[in-house]
Amino acid sequence: MTFDLKEAIEILERTPKSLRALLTGLSDGWTQCNEGEGTWTVAEVIEHLIEAENANWLPRLEHILQEGESKPFPPFDRYAHLEKERGRLLEQGLSEFETIRARNLTKLREIVNPELHLERTGSHPAFGIVKVRELISTWVVHDFTHISQIVRVMAERYREDVGPWQAYLGILKK
């Protein structure tokens, strides 16, 4: 087991800044493309990250710390962001993500004592018993998953344009 709360926070702090650096000022061609039907655009991924900040990570963490295993925490709708009419610019979404993430990390630092809470357990509606450290680890890997997804979606836009080099570009191999 290699989980370390301080190291986890290092990544969680950097995700919004990394996404802002990568995505700010890009044309819609980059941010509105996807990988085909049923896949998300870059802008939709950012909206999903916002939804997860609001309804997933901290609410579940607080639930575990307050309720333990006594009752499962509410399920998280991974597609809820697709049902909401946003109509905002990507930069606005990035700003909201940064604000919410900063607030959530402040709260995380306030409520989780690594010496006391990492092995606390709660009840996930699908998986059963889960630990605080597993939830926070998943939060970190969820960020990596969506950073990877964003870069993959953007690379897909040039799949045909790279010509024969496609054979050497692992990101284009599905």
In the chain the domains, ranked by start, together with CATH numbers, are 5-160 (1.20.120.450)
The string of DSSP letters for 68-99 reads: TTSSPPPP--TTHHHHS-----HHHHHHHHHH
Name the phi and psi angles at 129, rounded to 5: -70, 130
pLDDT digits (tens, 9 = 90+) for 78-98: 877 877 766 778 999 999 999
Q: Give the per-residue pLDDT at 86.
A: 66
SS3 49: helix
Q: Give the per-residue pLDDT at 87.
A: 72
pLDDT digits (tens, 9 = 90+) for 11-64: 999 999 999 999 999 999 999 999 889 999 999 999 999 999 999 999 999 999
Q: What is the distance between the alpha carbons of residues 11 and 121, in angstroms, rounded to a whole number?
A: 23
Q: Give the per-residue pLDDT at 90.
A: 92
Q: DSSP assignment, residue 169?
A: -
pTM: 0.94
CB 139 within 8 Å of CB 7: no
Number of H helices, E strands in the chain: 7, 2
CB 131 within 8 Å of CB 119: yes
Q: Give the per-residue pLDDT at 85.
A: 63
pLDDT digits (tens, 9 = 90+) for 97-114: 999 999 999 999 999 999
